[in-house]
A and B are shown apart, each in its own frame.
Chain A
Amino acid sequence: MLREIIARLKQGHRTMAYPKEPVQLPERFRGYPEFPARVERADGEACAAACPHGAITCDGGIALDTGLCLFCPECTAGEYVRFTTDHRLAATRREHLLVRSGGEHQLARPLEPRLRSLLGRSLKFREVSAGGCNACEADTNVLSTIGWDLGRFGIQFVASPRHADGLWVTGPVTENMREALLMTWEAIPGPKIVVACGACAIGGGPFAGSPEARDGVDGILPVDLYIPGCPPHPAAILDGLLRLVGKIEGE
């Protein structure tokens, strides 16, 4: 027992102060996009055509769909798009993931008042990996470690859908997981919410267009929170969650 106590003293208290203090992100982290240079239409259309994920469009001005974007370092839009280290990528509506040059940064919004009063202080999720590569799963799991300590916000991942208030989906929804996903959804008592975590769950990610998968959970279940990224950084996930339950507001 003494050894454990000494080890505990050496390891120290390591839960981060976030959201009271800013989260530490690597310098090379690729987060919320911005458009430093003006794009001529022809250039914009060339970028749009070159993006292998179909994340860039040029209809009027260049726009990037963070739901489809995999945040590649070799972005085909080159100098026209810069990924900042802003981790606040989550949004509550699908169209808010479309980032336009000069447009407003749409952050995730709180649940409607009735749901917020019901779930705001105790929110339990049942996670279903529906074809995920285990990266979204891993960085969701990481929130429950002592560094992030998700429990301090009243948010938890639970073993049974019967104990859950919401469904947490990762992966593009493979044909072989569709039925299990829907059964889990059915088993969660209402009112209930859905989180699409990661590029796959939002739009199919790297597997978009595969005949063995469904290009995400949109159209199968009603989504309340979209968290872009391949995989999303834990800070992006936590930002979305805390905004959803109203524990972070404004900038």
Chain B
Amino acid sequence: MNDIFRTLHNGSAIPFDEVPRLEVTAFLQAIIDATDRGWRVSSYFGIPTESGATLCCVLSSKADGLIGMAAADVAGSFPSIARLVPQLQLFEREIAEQCGIPAEEHPWFKPVRFHHSFVPGRDAWGRNPGDPILPGVMEFYRVEGEEVHEVAVGPEHAGIIEPGHFRFQCHGEEVFHLEISLGYQHRGIEQGLVGGPDPRTPFRMETIAGDTTIGHMHAHCMAMEALSGTRVPARAEALRGIALELERLANHTGDLGAIAGDVGYLPTASFCGRIRGDFLNMTAVLCGSRFGRGLVRPGGVLFDLGEAERDDLLARLDAARADLENAVELLWSTPSVMSRLENTGAVSADTARELGLVGPAARACGLNRDVRHDYPYGIFRMAQIPVITTHHGDVCARTTVRWLEAGKSLDFIRDQLRQLPGGGCRNEPGPLQGNRVAVAMTEGWRGEICHVAITDDAGRFLRYKVTDPSFHNWAGLAMALRGEQISDFPLCNKSFNLSYCGFDL
């Protein structure tokens, strides 16, 4: 495969003209062959052109620890290969929506985010360019028959939750099919980045998904550093790693509590709700913001850690670990909780592989994939975190993965705090080099985050592609619901806890 794709390492940049420009059939065949051999599609996107688009595919090969890239020019439309490579189905719809060109023979050809295409006047669905595009207006899959009914939920939900529309086809209580339609949080992030970066870019990167501020910002910085040839000081890499794992801890803790809450087990729900705040407050010790705003910037980090803060963090970490263990151990020893978690919302390893799931959702199905381990970057080139997998693929497995990962993150942060490298925290980045492409992947708490930046002659963004882990994983939630009771939807949903804004961009 390596002779077809141009390979590169995570967090590096190459001249864009070294990416092979294939004839479209050869390009698609190469993707089919590569995925057959176990490569994953990390990103697939189009750069709009006058007559169509330049398609770019970014694949990752775990066995080689390498990223492969190829491109092809298409005019008017492009062939869909989603029937052969299901993990591409959403990417193809996204390309169609953004570039305004249809994906021919796509089995599920519907809008993704409900916006006008990047090319004024061009629309993949032939909608009138002057008409507003309304979210959720599409043909939903329908099951018909006696006693079959449809349940529609959203965009707004009962709690303080982001908006999304869910359409269930049910037979009595049993869900035959769930279709998820998003786009309500679409803020035009990718389109706004064309011609960038500008002084506001870091702030938009930090708010792609606010609960993944560090994960996305770290990926963005890696891309910027690769494009400008900036070296990041070791101390900054360690602090970025600490912040990333604190983000994972806060969110995993919140999820463990929320899962407990959804099965009506209030002790763990209450305790974890508070302990999550303890982790957020540790991030605030680092940089003043509970979400890590303003910590990570191209070239390093903006805040150093003094002795006093380091000792403060170590003490807080020990206290939080004791509280978390105490709160979560209750789950495993309570039969009424376990009976609700086990065998609920199972996704098979085959389905997970075909859909290209990432993060804890994939690891709960036995798929050993973790960017920190497979495509090491930053501090993870020096300090490895063991990858946790379980194999039942159900709510219980996703809960277990989170719990075990939390323990590994706690160990990692403690070790890093005790042996912080000396030196500075930031090197001023230079200007971006022109006509290059950089690929940066990080392991956010939901899974693989992929940023691809392509520059023009002047070193401005020709295209900036963001792929949030939720983009891969929403289909996993839909599959988890098949054959389940509709009343188990909140629990299944919580066990994935996917991002709406990260998906909607």
Binding site for B on A (CB under 8 A): 3-4, 7-8, 10-11, 14, 26-30, 50, 52-53, 70-74, 127-142, 145-147, 157, 159-160, 171-172, 174-177, 179-180, 184, 205-207, 210-213, 230-231, 233
Contacts and interface: CB of A to CB of B under 8 A. Distances in A.
Contact of A3 (B135, B208, B280, B330): B330
A133 B286 CA distance: 21
Given A28-B287, A127-B160, A175-B115, 20 more contacts: A3-B330, A11-B326, A27-B288, A28-B284, A29-B289, A30-B288, A53-B203, A72-B294, A74-B297, A129-B500, A131-B186, A131-B187, A135-B207, A146-B273, A147-B273, A176-B186, A179-B134, A206-B206, A212-B115, A231-B291
Contacts of B323: 10-11
Nearest to A137: B160
Contact of B160 (A141, A184, A205): A141
A58 B281 CA distance: 35
A7 B271 CA distance: 9
Contacts of A157: 159-160
A159 B185 CA distance: 20
Given A74-B297, A212-B188, A230-B293, A128 B267 contact: no
Interface in B470-505: 499-501
Given A7-B326, A26-B288, A52 B160 contact: no
Contacts of B210: 132-138, 231
Contacts of A128: 156, 163
A7 B330 contact: yes
Interface of B: 113-115, 132, 134-135, 155-156, 158-163, 183-188, 191-192, 198-200, 203-204, 206-211, 213, 267, 270-271, 273-274, 276-277, 280-281, 284-291, 293-294, 297, 302-303, 323, 326-327, 330, 333-334, 499-501
Contact of A28 (B158, B162, B288): B288
A228 to B, nearest CB: 13
Nearest to A125: B160
Contacts of A10: 323, 326
A135 B211 CA distance: 6
Contact of B185 (A131, A135, A139, A205): A131
B270 A184 contact: no
Given A4-B330, A212-B186, A213-B187, A133 B209 contact: yes
B249 to A, nearest CB: 14
B330 A145 contact: no
Contacts of A174: 184-187
Contacts of A175: 115, 132, 186
